[in-house]
Amino acid sequence: MNLSVIGTGYVGLVSGVCLAEKGHQVVCVDIDPGKVDTINQGIPPIHEIGLDELLKKHAGKKLVATTDLRQAVLASEISLIAVGTPFDGERIDLKYIRKAAEQIGQILREKSTWHTVVVKSTVVPGTTDEVVLNALELASGKKAGVDFGVGMNPEFLKEGEAIADFMNPDRIVLGGVCERSREALSECMRFSCMWRKSARIAGRLK
Ligand SMILES: NC(=O)c1ccc[n+]([C@@H]2O[C@H](COP(=O)([O-])OP(=O)(O)OC[C@H]3O[C@@H](n4cnc5c(N)ncnc54)[C@H](O)[C@@H]3O)[C@@H](O)[C@H]2O)c1
């Protein structure tokens, strides 16, 4: 599949290289041009066991980084949002995820083929429906579940073992607003279930 990953921090970059390793074509998007350049040179901006090797293998081939969100969304079937959601001890700050959803929504306005937007960032229950889906609908002028898909696939990576955790999950949690969203997300993540037979797809949100 053609995938775009929005936000190339810890979760976005690890997800991007692992999805490339499993055969997907991945575009990683970030607002930080320095990070984008480093990734395109095959140099990981963070330390993680196995990341160096996988990034060297896929950079410029199955994985490219860019600051051009519009091109990345137009050229992909699924966008995985992996921007930061800083927690101050009391509340999660949703400004980055809200902004990313608004920007993707504006691009969906001009996209005629089906696109599924997936939340990978850590958020509290209800955020995907109340914040992300609403922002996408408002910015696109389209209806989720009818004109485009929305899904949820929370990440459970541990720093230091993130690549191994992604490649060998003991479970995958996903959900979607409609069958088409769930199918697109299952296809994107299915490799993990084959990778380890004990893995299971669970937790449909709807
Ligand atoms: N770090 C972990 O171990 C871990 C584990 C599980 C889940 N999570 C969750 O995953 C999410 C991402 O965490 P992280 O540690 O990777 O974050 P991070 O802050 O390291 O990276 C986020 C990236 O998103 C980019 N960004 C922000 N707005 C953008 C936009 N509009 N378009 C493109 N790029 C944009 C930033 O420049 C940054 O590079 C958070 O919700 C976090 O809670 C983190």
Burial of 8 (0-12, 13-18, 19+ CB in 10 A): buried
pLDDT at position 191 is 57
Rg, C-alpha atoms of the chain: 16
CB 100 near ligand 1, within 6 Å: yes
Give CATH superfamily name and number for 2-202.
NAD(P)-binding Rossmann-like Domain (3.40.50.720)
108 contacts: CB under 8 Å, gap ≥ 6: 73, 115, 117, 136, 139, 140, 142, 147, 148
pLDDT in tens, 115-163: 999 999 999 989 999 999 999 999 999 999 999 999 999 988 888 999 9
Domain extent listing, the chain: 2-202
The Cα–Cα gap between 157 and 26 comes to 19
pLDDT at position 11 is 96
Pocket-testing residue among 51, 76, 83, ligand 1, by greatest number of atoms within 8 A of Cβ: 83
The Cα–Cα gap between 80 and 185 comes to 10
CB 84 near ligand 1, within 6 Å: yes
Mean pLDDT (10-residue bins), the chain, 206 residues = 97 97 97 98 96 98 98 98 95 96 98 98 93 98 98 91 92 93 92 42 37
CB 155 near ligand 1, within 6 Å: yes
pLDDT at position 190 is 77
Q: Residue 74: how many CB atoms within 10 A of its CB?
A: 15
User: Is residue 62 classed as helix, strand or coil in its secondary structure?
Assistant: coil
Pocket-testing residue among 4, 11, 98, ligand 1, by greatest number of atoms within 8 A of Cβ: 11
φ, ψ (nearest 5 deg) of residue 2: -95, 120
122 CA to centre of ligand 1 in angstroms:
9
